[in-house]
Structure 1
């Protein structure tokens, strides 16, 4: 048992070192230009340590960001009162704005977007009354809203947050409630 705990500790340390090194490399290098040999050298781990944990360099980012984003959404889904959920999602934008910019600049936005979409699906599936919308409409509405929320967040960040977060929150709330209510009426 002690060996298992020690092995897990080494595996976790390797993952942490790889993620830290990758985030440092991404400050000046695009994701597609980062080679595994450069990453493991920077992290101070072996190639074997990399391959024990990951298949691609992008997997390191997914492993790093997914738990962080999942935890934020867990808080919104499980602990935030219904009337404050969209505002809590808006707070996510503020917390992850530098990550958004880095992901666009260094070409790993597809990773952040996929994690965000997965969590938005969880968020929308948790809404009160969602089961009243037919399954086929629900699926497309969730995809539509997830993409819309993401694009509003992306534009807001990339335009240096010129509009107030309250205005963005209000817009998202109106879009969500209007489209949701429209589907309920049909």
Structure 2
């Protein structure tokens, strides 16, 4: 994942790779802390100590702990969608199937975040990624009524995350592909 570059007798990471590594460490530390602490009880100092990063790093890169979650999840979702074997752009069913495949792998992380009261952070993150992927042409454009409605992305994000939470609570009985088809029916009133 990270390439080391030789600088003299030392191997170093690029600034982007170091930033990604620090984000990974900080996010994982936050999840570890959420397993044993209330979200409101986690201080910046505790998080930085657990992650092995400086407070300067934290304050230079983030305005809140919710932003760490958003940044990490945005990076994860975008990376996951980029490696899919499908031809781009993805249609809605492919997008939702891919999303739920990833969320199936991250079910325990999601449970920790939901239990910590961070559902709105998940909704916001989904919306940001959806809008970004649409703008980048990785997702097929929706019909005009949805594309022109400034609230559609917010509506869809809330519905997808709510569906995800219920799916997790019910033991992930449906496959990601089944969820993709169900959500396509709900959003676009298709059989």
Q: Structure 1 length as normaliser, TM-score?
A: 0.70
Specify which structure has the higher proportion of helix: 1
Where 2:48 maps in the other structure, the secondary structure is helix
Residue 133 (structure 1) aligns with: 145
Deviating more after overlay: 21-30 vs 122-131? 122-131
Whether the 8 Å contact between 1:124 and 1:142 is mirrored in structure 2 is no
Which residue matches 1:29?
37
- Partners in 2 of 1:143 and 1:155 — Cα distance? 18
Q: Does residue 90 of the first structure (1) align with residue 100 of the second (2)?
A: yes
Q: TM-score, normalised by structure 2?
A: 0.69
Q: Is the 8 A contact 2:38 2:116 kept in 1?
A: yes
8 Å CA contact 2:31–2:112 kept in 1: the answer is no
Inter-partner Cα distance in structure 2 for 1:46 and 1:81: 39
Hey, what's the Cα distance between the residues in 1 that align with 2:38 and 2:18?
A: 28
List gaps (5 residues or longer) in structure 1: 182-186
The runs of 5 or more residues in structure 2 that have no matched partner are 1-6
Distance 1:123 1:142 in 2: 12
Structure-1 separation of matches of 2:90 and 2:24: 34
- Find the structure with the greater CA-based Rg: 1
Kindly state the Cα deviation for residue 118 of structure 1 after the two structures are TM-superposed.
Answer: 2.0
Q: What's the secondary structure of 1:133's corresponding residue?
A: helix
Deviation at 1:34, TM superposition (A): 0.3
**CA RMSD for the aligned pairs?**
3.5
Equivalent residue pairs, number = 176
